Structure 1
Amino acid sequence: MYIVIQIFQTLFYLIYCYLEAVIRFFVPVKKKSFAGTIVLVTGAGHGIGKELAMKFSEVGARLILWDINKRQVEEVEQTIRKSRHKDDAAKSYVCDVSKVENIKATAAKMRREVGEVEVLVNNAGILHGGSLLEMSEEDIKRTFDVNILAYIWTCREFLPYMVRRNEGHIVNMASMSAQTGVAYLTEYSASKYAVRGFTEALKDEMRREGHTGINFTTVYPMFVATGMTKYTVGIGVEWLTPAQVAIAVVEGAQMNETSVFIPSWYRGLLKISSLWPSKFKENPNELMYKGINPQYKERND
């Protein structure tokens, strides 16, 4: 009898979710405001991180900028301050997010000077792009230190404040390679799959513990012209600009989207691909294949 009740409860909940999805399709959720909100962006000195900082600033947020490159991150800070005509519009810090001790020390200094983080944007990332057998152990380890362990350390650092208030937002940058692994992105793809799993698990953990006011967004961009990826393979591969990614991320966060695919049509393609035969998905022909050629060896020659 208990199983029958559970089945009916699940069916009713499924119907409710369908109705909610239909309503939201015709009546979109109102965008939430980030005006005055303290937003931390890691890897904010260049590329996507810089554009994310600029875009969050445009919607009124106060920016905390972390990057390992002092000159670049200070330039972004000055650009935001000048554009907003406010000295407190942005504050930059040099931080190596691959080191948990550096994260803790920078966070402590930041709290004294600015305040608590209300929105965390984990953007910092690295990519080597080469054969697994040719990469060094040090480079493989650093990929995981920056691309996933740093995300875990920052969440552990800033989540307690969000939990106390039952309010906040965490945006984690993954990659389309977290949906489909491809050659010469082995360690990168693994780290981004980890970002996907970590974010989904943490979101469920917060739900189970009753902290439903904390939102999570995972971002899945295709190839972005940041300089990290070279030699793409695939007919019709188009490079995204960091600005395009930033616009989609901020808009997704404003709508409390749990997943942001860039370009957006890739979400539909993934749903359609679930109907394809296994061989068609696992062994694509060259006309449909998208990936990269090795670039690690060139970097180390």
Structure 2
Amino acid sequence: MVSKSDYNLLQSILDIVGFIIIAIGMIVQSIVRACLPKSYRKFKELSGQNVLITGGGGGLGRLLALRIANQGAKVMVWDVNEEGIQETLKQVKAQGGVIHGLKCDLSQSDDVYRVAKLTREQFGDIDILINNAGVLSGKYLLDTPDRLIKLTFDVNIIAHFWTVKAFLPAMVSKNNGHIITIASMAGHVGVSKLVDYCSSKYAAVGFDEALRMELEDQGVTGVKTTAVCPYFIQSTGMFGNVHSRFLSTLKLSDVADRIVEGIRREEEVVMIPSALRWTILLKILMPWPVVSMFMRGLVPDAAPEEPSNKLNNNMVKPISKEAVNVKND
């Protein structure tokens, strides 16, 4: 007669074997899908989709608005800078796109929920949410004012909670939607002078992964999530003067194109360039002195100037006067 402990052991062995077989199948499927020519890959159509882009008043946000509107989507941009919003609207409409814009201070949850309500009333439910807005202080930790540390977290990650809570319920009810988190490679490796920024981007990567896990756990298979992790991007107002050795900084237009491709392919993670995936593996395998030496050699200075809270690809004007004048502290 088989004892209960023997039965449990047998069940555990069968579970492990089953997991390994299924995992191997998924890995093979993933490799085959990655190796397929683009003409054979499945791409999601963006035409007719309602797309919200935070920080859409300039930089990467504006380029995403232009490209996504060009795919036939209806675009809504949020930004704290009204002039930036109007310029984005002007450029998108000039190419025949459909776009709307609303001013929103993402560092304030009340404003996020207020503008979200206006968005639903004027624009309808959001099908694709792109949390793109972000800020950077670019100072050594001990030189960074407390209010800028708080601002970095409020915009770079805390705002994601408010926007997702505002628009996810409708996605879940329809079992259809897509949430894109613009994170960073700084969400996987630490960089000097970016302690607050890296911390917020680590949180953004974790937010995306935990949200995806939660949706799968609840059986919400139609709502997808994507974490975008680019290297330093040129012409965003954040890392234009970064000292980067061995690896070139990224062109804004290339990053925008790759993000749109990642959205249409519903990729879980988009690393730009994709070769940086291997650095994550090396970080796990290598001892810390090797990791530190490599990163300090790759990025000798992430913020060679002392920016006045330079704003990301995403928010062209300061959230408030106090948020900008770092040098006055």
Which of 48, 56, 65 is the aligned partner of 2:77? 65
Which of 271, 280, 292 is the aligned partner of 2:281? 271
Q: Distance in 1 between matches of 2:238 and 2:302?
A: 11
Q: Displacement, 1:22?
A: 3.4
2:110 is aligned with 1:101: yes
Q: Distance in 2 between matches of 1:196 and 1:22?
A: 23
Which of 20, 42, 53 is the aligned partner of 1:41? 53
Identify which of structures 1 and 2 has the higher relative contact order when contacts are C-alpha pairs closer than 8 Å and 6+ apart. 2
Seq. identity, %? 33
* Structure 1 residue ranges without an equivalent (≥5): none
Q: Displacement, 1:239?
A: 2.5
2:237 is aligned with 1:227: yes
Q: Distance in 2 between matches of 1:25 and 1:71?
A: 41
The two structures, once aligned, show a CA RMSD in angstroms of: 1.9
State the match for 1:2 in structure 2.
11
Letter in 1 for 2:91: T
Answer with 14-23 or 158-167: which moved more. Answer: 14-23
The answer to whether the 8 A contact 1:230-1:295 is kept is no
Q: Displacement, 1:17?
A: 1.1
Q: Distance in 2 between matches of 1:276 and 1:223?
A: 23
* Structure 2 residue ranges without an equivalent (≥5): 1-9, 309-325
The answer to whether the 8 A contact 2:63-2:256 is kept is yes
Q: Distance in 2 between matches of 1:116 and 1:261?
A: 29
Q: Distance in 2 between matches of 1:238 and 1:289?
A: 11
Match of 2:141, SS?
coil
Match of 1:219, SS?
strand
Q: 1:19 to 1:50 in 2, by over 3 A?
A: same
Which of 25, 29, 33 is the aligned partner of 2:41? 29
Answer with 276-285 or 223-232: which moved more. Answer: 276-285
Larger Rg: 2
Q: 1:121-136 to 2 correspondence within 5 Å?
A: 121-136=130-145
TM-score of the pair, normalised by structure 2? 0.85
Q: Distance in 2 between matches of 1:4 and 1:207?
A: 25
Which of 231, 237, 256 is the aligned partner of 2:266? 256
State the match for 1:246 in structure 2.
256
Q: After superposition, give the CA deviation of every residue in 1:160-197 in whole Å (9 maximum; x if it has no partner).
A: 00000111001001011111011100000000000000
Answer with 133-142 or 23-32: which moved more. Answer: 23-32
Match of 1:35, SS?
coil
The answer to whether the 8 A contact 2:225-2:266 is kept is yes
State the match for 1:152 in structure 2.
161
Letter in 1 for 2:28: L
Q: 1:274 to 1:39 in 2, by over 3 A?
A: same
The answer to whether the 8 A contact 1:128-1:295 is kept is no
State the match for 1:83 in structure 2.
95
The answer to whether the 8 A contact 2:129-2:178 is kept is yes
Q: Displacement, 1:242?
A: 2.2
Q: Distance in 2 between matches of 1:131 and 1:294?
A: 11
2:294 is aligned with 1:284: yes
Q: After superposition, give the CA deviation of every residue in 1:27-47 in whole Å (9 maximum; x if it has no partner).
A: 453111000100000000011
TM-score of the pair, normalised by structure 1? 0.93
Q: After superposition, give the CA deviation of every residue in 1:20-72 in whole Å (9 maximum; x if it has no partner).
A: 12331344531110001000000000111111111111111100010000011
State the match for 1:236 in structure 2.
246
Q: After superposition, give the CA deviation of every residue in 1:93-134 in whole Å (9 maximum; x if it has no partner).
A: 000111111111111111111111000000000001111111
The answer to whether the 8 A contact 1:135-1:296 is kept is no
